[in-house]
Amino acid sequence: MDTRPTLKMRNPLEEAAFAYYDNKRTDFINLGLGSIDGFYHHHFAVGDFDRRVLELPDDEREQAINAEMHRMETRQVDILVEALGGVAPEARILDAGSGRGGTAFLLHRAFGCRVDGVNISSYQNGFAREQAERRGCADRVRFHDRSMVSTEFPDASFDYVVTNETTMYVELNTTFAEFARILKPGGRYVLTTWCNNDAIAPRPPEAEAIDQHYHCHTHRRVAYLRALVDAGLIPYQVDDLTKAAIPYWELRSHSRLATGIEQVYLSGYLSDRVNYIRIASRKNDQAAPDEASQTS
């Protein structure tokens, strides 16, 4: 199969992301876990796991661990659903960096609205389109061979934009300016990501190891806030979910699917040098005057 990009890559970061994901046809973790119920994810998880799975006999333990990992990854999308609030069925959501479609399908299931995914990997988009056909929602959940930095959608096309652990593959200012362009007045953008904790270590060794492993660039926490404001996307909710992100990596370290990156994330999160955050922002055209940025 031809794996040449249909899009022009703008910089080495995008080239690395394309090479990594478009050629990742043998993916024991994401494909293996996704086969459980047809939701294929490319993100991690927050929340605790059922500790009893670690006490099971050897012949049951591995399958139970992997099922629990997948359950956690699927439930992770709930933190986007919660932050989006009440989404009308006639609304439109953009899933930027949509992977094999897991987040987009779960958002559609939650709200019944139209969801568009953009992704530079033609292979992953083809995979997601097949899933949409199987689910009978191809007319409502669509996937496009486009970059999240240049979506090609008209101005003010979307009510909401989400990125689920994908912003480490793009330059923030350019990307957030594109999101602001395609959002309707008062539209919301919600992101989840890991990031460097500026207060402790702007460039910790764990982030360097993560970047090398996933061919990405971990941004500083303050860089997110500055880039959002510069784009006219005003943060009104910032949640530090670092502690809640630790159990997933504890569980994954016990799986035979472990790749070795598990201890790196655990070290980064436990030391607070790397954080896991959720930020909800609103296009400032119609931001509520009494709505102030708050951190929890």
- Residue-by-residue DSSP string for 137-154: -TTTEEEEE-BTTB--PP
- 22, 15 in Cβ contact below 8 A? no
Alpha-helical (H) ranges within the chain are 12-22, 30-34, 58-76, 78-84, 102-111, 122-135, 172-182, 205-214, 221-230, 242-252, 262-270
Q: For the residues of 195-234, what is the DSSP string, one character each? A: EE-TTT-SS-HHHHHHHHHHT--PPBHHHHHHHHHHTTEE
Which pLDDT does position 8 carry in this prediction?
Answer: 63
Which pLDDT does position 57 carry in this prediction?
Answer: 95
| Domain ranges across the chain | 12-283
Which pLDDT does position 41 carry in this prediction?
Answer: 81
Pairing mode, if any, of strands 183-196 and 141-145? unpaired
The contacts of residue 243 (CB under 8 Å, 6+ apart) are: 269
In this prediction the pTM is 0.89
Which pLDDT does position 107 carry in this prediction?
Answer: 98
- 95, 106 in Cβ contact below 8 A? no
Which pLDDT does position 296 carry in this prediction?
Answer: 39
Which pLDDT does position 29 carry in this prediction?
Answer: 74
Helix (H, G, I), strand (E, B) or coil at 180: helix
User: Average pLDDT per run of 10 along the chain, which is 296 residues long?
Assistant: 51 63 62 72 93 94 94 96 95 97 96 96 93 96 95 97 97 97 97 97 95 95 98 98 98 94 98 98 66 40
The amino acid sitting at 212 is Q
CATH no. of 12-283: 3.40.50.150
